[in-house]
Amino acid sequence: MATGTVEASNAPKLTFEELRAALRQVGEERYHHKHPFHLLMHEGKLTRGQLQAWALNRYYYQSIIPIKDAIILSRATDPSFRRVWRKRIVDHDGQDGDDQRNGGILRWIKLAEATGLDRDRVIRAEGILPASRFIGNEYLHLVRTRPFLECVASSLTELFSRDLIALRMKKMRQHYPWLSSALDYFEARLTEAPEDAAFAIQYVFNHAATRADQERVIQALRDKCDILWAQLDALYSPTSSPAGRRRELFASTRGRRRTVADLTDASIPKFAAGCRWGGTTEAPVVLFPEGAIRVEGTAASFSNSATAIFRWPKSCRSWKPSSCWRPKARSAPTSKLFSSNCTPNASWIIKTTLKLDRK
């Protein structure tokens, strides 16, 4: 069994069955069917908002799959390879005039709409996590820059995707019946993925001339599994962490209500331009053009001696004194001390004691 630690230069080549077993072992160890986010999905523990976040962020990956395949196609010098591989592009982009082949991208949009997302918003990939975009682009970088054989091998997650798709469809119908009529994408992949995998594994076996080539093929599959895993990491951290579901990513459009992280003792505000931390660890202060604020306590543990409450008003996108502010100082600082990329209606509150040191 190949593990990536074999001295490949002198080792004998793996047989076809040994190579298949080595690739399947990678899937068993590293494929995202074991990711905590998928486990929550299959246990019926995701909210509608979390399913929306998943559908929206995964759409970006779905949308670049035909681009990925087009890059591989453009690098292929064998016409027989190109004739087979171009089917993958049609599978995802669809084909004009053929209602039976409207493509995986349109099928995924149908799924996203069933979760409650707006179609145009999905197509624009509006509100997706930066990590989702970065990870998807990393896959494009892989197929642009790695040796051709490794690019083909990176598609071999299809060797074991059918099992996950079958399980996902079963669990979605069980736990999220309102999605049952929108599982066309997965239905199609039950047949498309095994067909594509059969060609790809035969190709890499035939063209991996040495054991070292085979080890690179196996590593390429590991790297692809890491890309899929990282996609879910980006979702799992903000939406499903044990510390609390920090925010519903689907509500990141302008003008929509958005949930914000609960404050903890480790919470740190994001400062506007011109503000910075000062003082010492024991006695921290926030420095701003008009003076300074001595911070007492944390964002979560409020001090009884606090004399000012900084609150987010619904009409403003930065931290300002609330209407109940009664500072002991003669005048209030006018700087926008705290800013955030969160939308209005958030509920963060920071209590501080004012100390104005005017120049």
Q: Between 48-75 and 79-93, two packed helices, what is the crossing angle to 10 degrees?
A: 160
Residue whose structure tokens are 């979560």:
300
CB 196 within 8 A of CB 122: no
Measure the CA–CA gap between 59 and 184, rounded to whole angstroms: 15
Tell me, what's the pLDDT at 51?
A: 95
Write down the domain spans for the chain.
16-251, 270-355
The confidence score (pLDDT) of residue 176 equals 95
DSSP 67: H
What is the torsion angle, in degrees rounded to the nearest 10, for the CA atoms of residue 216, residue 222, residue 228 and residue 234?
-110
Q: What pTM value is reported for the model?
A: 0.65
What is the predicted pLDDT for the residue at 97? 65
Q: What is the DSSP letter of 290?
A: T
Query: Could you report the per-residue pLDDT of 198-253, keeping only the tens digit for each?
Result: 999 999 999 999 999 999 999 999 999 999 999 999 888 755 444 334 344 444 43
Length of the chain in residues, anyone? 359
List, for the chain, all residue ranges whose pLDDT scores fall below the cut of 50.
1-6, 240-260, 263, 299-359
How far is Cα 230 from Cα 196, in angstroms, rounded to an integer? 24
pLDDT score recorded for residue 236: 86
Domain 16-251 sits in which CATH superfamily? Heme oxygenase-like (1.20.910.10)
What are the φ/ψ torsions at residue 217 (nearest 5 degrees)? Answer: -60, -45
Q: Is there a contact between 38 and 32 (Cβ–Cβ < 8 Å)?
A: yes
**pLDDT at position 10, please?**
77
Cα 252 from Cα 120, distance rounded (Å): 15
